[in-house]
Copies of this chain bind each other. A is one copy, B any other.
Amino acid sequence: MTKIAIVEGDGIGREVIPEAEKILRFFLPNAEFVKVELGFDQWKKTGSACSKENMTTLKEMDAVLFGAVTTPPDPEYKSVLLEIRHELDLYANIRPVKSESVDLVIVRENTEGLYSGIEEIGEDKSTTLRVITKAGSRRIAEKACSLNIQRNQNTPLVIGHKANVLKSDILFRDTCITVAESQNLPVRSMFIDALCLDVLLHPDRYDVIVTTNMFGDILSDACGYLTGGLGMLPSANIGENHALFEPVHGSAPDIAGRNIANPIAAVRSAAMLLEYLGMKTEAEKIEKAVQQTLSLRIVTPDLGGNASTRDVGENILAKI
């Protein structure tokens, strides 16, 4: 039996995930859904944002649907999402950017780079070690190449890096080039700063973009501009044995509790989850229903509408 963890987390995670969950339950009537409580609220209650049992449960699942988690003001606090990515070795963060006129995917390395966690904190000086490995670069490049082949858009794989400043990025860039060439894929290597601008000016020139962890973090938010904001962007965190699906947006405490958060990113994350389980047709049905709801302008305030989170969710489900 398929086992799915449902993690609402904090803030608007508690509002958008239930809408996505309904759709998952519709397509997976026989799956087991396991609710996992973690995040800031949990940390306030128990002193731990993610317990050992939580982590064990997540590891036993076939997939995780994840909302968002608020960062508490405690400087000792470690981000739960980062802990999970690390523990489950979810090395590939796949972030499709899709709208009427845009269709590209960011493949973000999800385990190393500036997210190494190797830091020395001092009063006058603090450092973080940015770590690039050949093995890490190779596996993310392989993921990006297979996506590029699968999508078959005849657009070169773009490598985003900063090898003109970070000599460590030469390893990343060259490993990506080697992997792509071994599969006869054309590549284009770009500096991340120039890439961030060019993708906004000419999104049609891009299909699959592979980049390191922090650069991918920033690039994907910037690309939110192409789709009308973060309320639209889903993501998949994929490893060898585990997978977690989450909207790119955060817990947005400023708008939480008002039933106005856009659930589309969460719903699309559920679609990515189904595709991961082999249910591509079902995933496409969801995307079609999302498109219809958008055309009818049944949208939340971030997109200029006045529908509630629940309205949008129920409309999408009805269209399915």
Residues of A within 8 A of B (CB): 71, 75, 79, 82, 114-115, 119, 121-135, 162, 164-168, 170-171, 192-194, 196-197, 200-201, 214-215, 217-218, 220-222, 224-225, 229-230, 250
Contacts and interface: CB of A to CB of B under 8 A. Distances in A.
Given A127-B131, A130-B130, A218 B193 contact: yes
A134 B129 CA distance: 18
A222 B125 CA distance: 29
Given A124-B133, A127-B132, A165 B196 contact: no
Q: How many copies does the complex hold?
A: 2
A121 B222 CA distance: 30
A125 B168 CA distance: 8
A168 B121 contact: yes
A166 B132 contact: no
A250 B194 contact: yes
A79 B225 CA distance: 32
A308 B283 CA distance: 50
B79 A197 contact: no
A168 B127 contact: yes
A196 to B, nearest CB: 5
B225 A197 contact: yes
B167 A230 contact: no
A184 B274 CA distance: 52
B130 A134 contact: no
Which 4 pairs, one residue from A and one from B, show the smallest C-beta to C-beta distance?
A126-B168, A193-B221, A200-B225, A197-B221
B222 A197 contact: yes
A37 to B, nearest CB: 21
A229 B201 CA distance: 8
A125 B162 CA distance: 16
Contact of A128 (B82, B168, B197): B168
